[in-house]
Amino acid sequence: MQVTLLRAGYGTTVQDLGRFGWRGSGVSVSGALDPHALRVANLLVGNDESAAALEVALGTVRLRFGDERLVAWCGGAFESELPRGRPTLVRPGDELQLLAKGGRAWLAISGGIDVPRVLGSRSTDLRSGFAGRALRDDDVLPLGRGSTRAISGFAPNEWSNTAGGKSLLRVVTGAEWARLTPEAQAAFLNQPFTVTQESDRMGARLKGPALERLQDEELVSEPVTVGTIQLPPGGDPILLLADCQTIGGYPKIAHVITVDLAGAAQLQAGDVVQFREVSLGEAHQLLLQRERDRAWFRVGVSLLR
């Protein structure tokens, strides 16, 4: 019960929903950059939503399966013989290829990837070295026991196809929003920013109009989380992602709302992103609606098995 990575691509890792309960000890949550896409892919193959899967970033990933499995993937711009968002049965010796054209994808395999848990999670944290490393050619991954009974359904396109390129991310303003000059506030919400080459799973560094602060005094380090947008002294914001630190001393000017983290997960160097402010109440309603939709999707998938 295993899968072999004939080609591992670049930056391919094992990820589940993350490492919770350890932030007080300085341990990042990590996990899939788009937890929603991971949940959907897992549901399509009969897994628990938190099962470990592959997060594919760059290059070509080619897999060879050792036994019969269901596979499904959701995410960005990839070429594959396997349709996005549809579960497919593979047999022993079958090979599957994903060729990255932009963004990231999450590939779920029935039974889940059964690597050892570290602090309760199978997620690979590249900066801390938890649960291994980025995958390499010829790596062999163990798989758990899983269903091979395919369903005729598929995921909604807006859930399975989250290709990036030019993104509009909705935000709520942060604790230090008022520390920006009025001109900087207007620029943040009305001007485009470009993702730089220095971006990774810890955060997307953005280049655009320099955002000036009213005061440059040092701040006491406070908790930060996935989606927090910090503003270093140079005026170029950083959008924090799954491997981000647990505390930070830069001003927190905004937070990307949870339902738009899928778009943030697809950001690559050279992509253009803009921000639009919404209220905290609107952000909550959008999240509740998606949770209700996914609950119905979960029921529908179960009825098809």
**pLDDT (tens digit per residue) in 83-117:** 889 999 999 999 999 988 878 999 999 999 999 99
Residue 147 tokens, joined: 């269903």
Instruction: Evaluate whether the domain defined by 166-284 bears CATH number 1.20.1530.20.
Output: no
Task: Using CB atoms within 10 Å of the CB of residue 272, give its burial: 0 to 12 exposed, 13 to 18 middle, 19+ buried.
Answer: middle
pLDDT digit string, tens, across residues 157-187: 888 887 755 589 999 999 999 999 999 999 9
- The pLDDT score that the predictor gives to residue 203 is 94
Model confidence, pTM: 0.92
CA-CA distance, 34 to 238, in Å (whole number)? 18
Average pLDDT over residues 44-51: 94
Cα-Cα-Cα-Cα dihedral sign, residues 290, 291, 296, 301:
positive
Instruction: Please report, for the chain, the start and end positions of each structural domain, with discontinuous segments joined by +.
Output: 2-163, 166-284
Read off φ and ψ for residue 288, nearest 5 degrees: -60, -40
Neighbour tally for 261: CB within 10 Å: 22
- The pLDDT score that the predictor gives to residue 165 is 55
pLDDT digit string, tens, across residues 244-282: 988 888 999 999 999 999 999 999 899 999 999 999 999
